[in-house]
Chains A and B, each alone.
Chain A
Amino acid sequence: MSTLVSQVTAIAAMNIKSIPQRLWMSLSTVVAIALVVAVLLAFLAMGNGFRQAQASAGAADIAILLRDGAQTEINSAVTREQADLVEEGPGIAREDGRALVSAELYVIVDGVSRSSHLRANLPLRGLPLAGVDLRHNVRIASGRMFRPGTAEIVVGRSVTREFEGFDLGKTLRLGQSVWTIVGVFEDGGTVRESELWGDVGVVQSVFKRQNFFQTIRVRLQSAASLPALKAYVDNDPRLKLVVETEAEYFAEQAKQSGDLIQKLGWPLAIIMAIGALAGALNTMYSSVASRSTEIATLRAIGFGRIPTFAGTLAEALALAALGGVVGVIAATLLFQGYTASTLSANFTQVVFTFKVTPALCVSALVLALVVGVIGGIFPALRAARQPIVGMLGEQ
């Protein structure tokens, strides 16, 4: 057994050390595998980044109420009467007797993308200052919060970065109204950073939607008080609303497009991997061919078939692993933190950054190694089956 192990190690080491002799062919395999890995990882990081931007925005102790069947904020509608009824509900956290509830209006306004110079949909959210407090992680990065009753807005950091004219101090004309940007807020890169916030009353009057809201957010006493609030809403026929935690709501939003992006990435990468596999097979067959004398010699002096097989497979795996690592490093350098935006289920732009994670790198490396195994196994079989005499005699 130990002979076998030492034989395998010896041949594997010899093969790998001799790779520079076949530099260009080996390099082409490494590069092809690296490219496949980089493409896969780019798609995975894109899907993951999109999902993270939404999923990480949701809190478990905040409930969101939408009109039954609306599914998204933009399609929802809530009346003043309904908002007042919800405030009376059980399970809602209260401060000095006031329920921590935020009835919000959500309208879409145009922004011009810095990269495409085309108009894109941005969400303008009207909310009370109490609503700002329902977002745990939001903090003002520069400037200050809007003052209630004024045409002041604060904008998410992503909006300032990706769209023209949303810098601190700039004014924004929406119809007949002129708004001043008094602050920029950040929220750890979540979907919220793609929003504009203003006072709900002012937004309602400017957009002529007095007494009309889209959603209600409430702070729950704890995540466990959700069922009580749900039961209260279900039992009141005037409240045709769906209650869920913000975490659930965002998880559902994130799933749709995030899954789609990743579902595109895998087939694409697998098709490309077949091309890289053809290259790997070519490289390994030519490696076996160029080492035929060497292999026959080794066999003649007592090395077995298994070490010969394993040695060739090890070479293929080494090339694949190298390609995989190069691909992972390249994709991480190129795409980690790269910003993009797409249309969300709410019909507005979500700005998100590509997120390469160790888990994604592992799946990309697995694909590289699969190419290595398949690309090595057949040439390795050929190496192991080579007749000793024929090969030595051929030269």
Chain B
Amino acid sequence: MNQALLVAKNLSRRKLRTLLMLVAIFIAFFLYGALECFDHAFHASETAAAADRLVTVNRINFTMPLPINYADRVRQVAGVKDVTYQSWFGGYYQDPKVPLFMFAVEPASYLAVYPAIQMAPEQRKAWLSNHTALAVGKKTAAQYNWKVGDRIPIKSNIYSRKDGAAAWEFDIAAIFSDPDETARENLVLMRFDNFNEAVTFGRDQVNMLVFSTSSNKLNDSVAKAVDALFANSEAETTTDTAAAFNRAFAAQLGNIALIVTLVVATAFAAILMIVGNTLVMSVRERTREIGVLKTLGFRGSTILSQILAESLLLAILGALLGLLVAAGAVAVVGRNIAGFGDTMRMTSGIFVGGLGWAVLLGLVTGAIPAWSAMRLQIAVALGRK
């Protein structure tokens, strides 16, 4: 108890100084928390993708088309369970600068490949039966305030209609959620048959096939078998796991992980300098007191642990505050950025990792002053001004 009291007294002897150190630590851990959460959300599609899901695209590039009949041929490959296909529609609602995450899909097979998608049975039935039906992820539905039964015009910046109409009229048939991959709740899904009948070009062509395997142990061999099937054909393919495909896509935007690491490392380097030096100074000011404590019989190791406790307490307190505020901030920001939603949240891994860094910071910044205080000789301590 006495030890704790001494630590508390030491920290509160110059309140402003302790407060400023806490602010510096708080800032660094706030940045760590916020940026790591952003990075995590950015890569969420890689980790969330089901392990038994594969993606087949044109070998030249995934924007190149594949013939729709490839789906039937892939279905015959041993180890393939369910196959679906999709085409990027380039859709937007009213503002061409704000794209929708919209695909033309075949509903029944789509739901088979993505079994985690949840929609009310009557909505599901409506989407499966009505030609102009649209299934909308609940986040996008909330964003545009769309309700089941609404009729909405959507334009495409890629496809035009044979009948010359500028907009495509859709009936919102279903609003769905996907607890496994919440990013999917941003999608807008039109029916492929509707797409295929109306377009002036691109008929019977799809952007990608998505399929599940009967076991993820078969992924490699199935992928090879699928690509071999279309080798030397008009449209050769590349098949990869959905996770790997998503990783390559995310990497195209830039090396976000590297940027996050550099910024966080910079912030940590700055507080290491600030807190480390301030602690050295603060212990130096107490030289005489430490001499007195030693005269009273306090052992060197006790003094060492007291100073380490002080630096640890400071680091952990600052880190906790920083991480908690970061958790609140990312939750608010995540709700307001389309495409992120609740993938942007403080995970236990990031939180515990932050506390780990805090302990390390506390030990490193406390090490030099604690060591020199332990080694301090009474005569020197009492003699120093």
Report A334-346 CB contacts with B as 1/0, cut-off 8 Å: 0000001111000
Segment 269-292 of A: residues with Cβ below 8 Å from B = 271-272, 274-276, 278-279, 281-282, 285-286
The verdict on A27 contacting B277 (CB below 8 Å), with A38-B266, A75-B157 known, is yes
Chain A residue at smallest Cβ distance from B17 = A282
Best-buried of A71, A74, A275 by chain B (most CB within 10 Å): A275
Check if B157 sits within 8 Å of A71, measured CB to CB. yes
Contacts of B263 in A (CB 8 A): 39, 268, 272
Contacts of B238 in A (CB 8 A): 119
Question: Is A239 interfacial (CB-CB < 8 Å)?
Answer: no
Question: Is B338 interfacial (CB-CB < 8 Å)?
Answer: no
Question: Is B155 interfacial (CB-CB < 8 Å)?
Answer: yes
Task: State which of A42, A268, A276 has its C-beta within 8 Å of the C-beta of B270.
Answer: A276
Check if B273 sits within 8 Å of A31, measured CB to CB. yes
Best-buried of A29, A70, A272, A347 by chain B (most CB within 10 Å): A272
Contacts of B61 in A (CB 8 A): 107-110, 121
| Interface segment, one of B19-27, B105-113, B121-129, B287-295 | B19-27
Segment 250-264 of B: residues with Cβ below 8 Å from A = 251-255, 262-263
Chain A residue at smallest Cβ distance from B278 = A282
Check if A285 sits within 8 Å of B28, measured CB to CB. no
Check if A282 sits within 8 Å of B274, measured CB to CB. yes
Question: Is B236 interfacial (CB-CB < 8 Å)?
Answer: yes
A347 CA to B247 CA in the complex, in Å? 16
A207 CA to B205 CA in the complex, in Å? 14
Question: Is A349 interfacial (CB-CB < 8 Å)?
Answer: yes
A71 CA to B156 CA in the complex, in Å? 12
Check if B234 sits within 8 Å of A176, measured CB to CB. yes
Check if B27 sits within 8 Å of A274, measured CB to CB. yes
Cβ distance B338 to chain A, nearest Cβ, rounded Å: 14
Report B162-186 CB contacts with A as 1/0, cut-off 8 Å: 0000000000000000000000000
Check if A108 sits within 8 Å of B280, measured CB to CB. no
Question: Is B276 interfacial (CB-CB < 8 Å)?
Answer: yes
A268 CA to B332 CA in the complex, in Å? 17
Cβ distance B194 to chain A, nearest Cβ, rounded Å: 21
Chain A residue at smallest Cβ distance from B26 = A275
Check if A343 sits within 8 Å of B252, measured CB to CB. yes
Contacts of B232 in A (CB 8 A): 176
Segment 1-51 of B: residues with Cβ below 8 Å from A = 16-17, 20-21, 23-24, 26-28, 30-31
Check if A175 sits within 8 Å of B59, measured CB to CB. yes
The verdict on A275 contacting B270 (CB below 8 Å), with A285-B16, A285-B17 known, is yes
Contacts of B254 in A (CB 8 A): 340-343
Segment 218-266 of B: residues with Cβ below 8 Å from A = 232, 234-236, 238, 247-248, 251-255, 262-263, 266
Contacts of B267 in A (CB 8 A): 35, 272, 275
Best-buried of A121, A175, A340 by chain B (most CB within 10 Å): A175
A257 CA to B223 CA in the complex, in Å? 35
Task: State which of B27, B59, B277 has its C-beta within 8 Å of the C-beta of A272.
Answer: B27
Q: Give the size range of B's interface with the partner.
A: 35 or more
Cβ distance B197 to chain A, nearest Cβ, rounded Å: 19
The verdict on A279 contacting B252 (CB below 8 Å), with A39-B263, A69-B96, A118-B247 known, is no
A71 CA to B27 CA in the complex, in Å? 41
Contacts of A279 in B (CB 8 A): 20, 24, 270-271, 273-274, 278
Chain A residue at smallest Cβ distance from B280 = A24
Check if B252 sits within 8 Å of A349, measured CB to CB. yes
Question: Is B158 interfacial (CB-CB < 8 Å)?
Answer: yes
The verdict on A108 contacting B266 (CB below 8 Å), with A28-B276, A28-B277, A70-B157 known, is no
Check if B23 sits within 8 Å of A274, measured CB to CB. yes
Check if A28 sits within 8 Å of B273, measured CB to CB. yes
Cβ distance B210 to chain A, nearest Cβ, rounded Å: 17
A282 CA to B254 CA in the complex, in Å? 38
Task: State which of A71, A108, A118, A276 has its C-beta within 8 Å of the C-beta of B64.
Answer: A108
Report A15-51 CB contacts with B as 1/0, cut-off 8 Å: 0000000001101110110011011001000000000
Report B48-75 CB contacts with A as 1/0, cut-off 8 Å: 0000000000011101100000000000
Question: Is B281 interfacial (CB-CB < 8 Å)?
Answer: yes
Give 30 pairs: A residue, B residue, CB < 8 Å, sorted on A: A24-B280, A25-B277, A27-B273, A28-B276, A31-B269, A35-B267, A42-B262, A69-B157, A74-B63, A108-B61, A109-B61, A118-B248, A119-B238, A121-B252, A175-B60, A175-B234, A176-B234, A268-B31, A272-B27, A272-B270, A275-B23, A275-B267, A275-B271, A276-B270, A276-B274, A278-B23, A279-B24, A286-B281, A341-B254, A342-B253
Could you tell me which A residues sit within 8 Å of B by CB distance? Answer: 24-25, 27-29, 31-32, 35-36, 38-39, 42, 69-71, 74-75, 107-110, 113, 115-116, 118-121, 174-176, 207, 268, 271-272, 274-276, 278-279, 281-282, 285-286, 340-343, 347, 349
Question: Apart from A120-B251, A272-B267, A276-B274, what are 5 other A-B pairs with CB-CB below 8 Å?
Answer: A32-B271, A35-B267, A71-B97, A271-B27, A279-B271
Could you tell me which B residues sit within 8 Å of A by CB distance? Answer: 16-17, 20-21, 23-24, 26-28, 30-31, 59-61, 63-64, 90, 96-97, 155, 157-158, 232, 234-236, 238, 247-248, 251-255, 262-263, 266-267, 269-271, 273-274, 276-278, 280-281
Closest 8 CB pairs of A and B: A275-B27, A279-B274, A28-B273, A278-B23, A32-B270, A118-B248, A278-B24, A28-B277
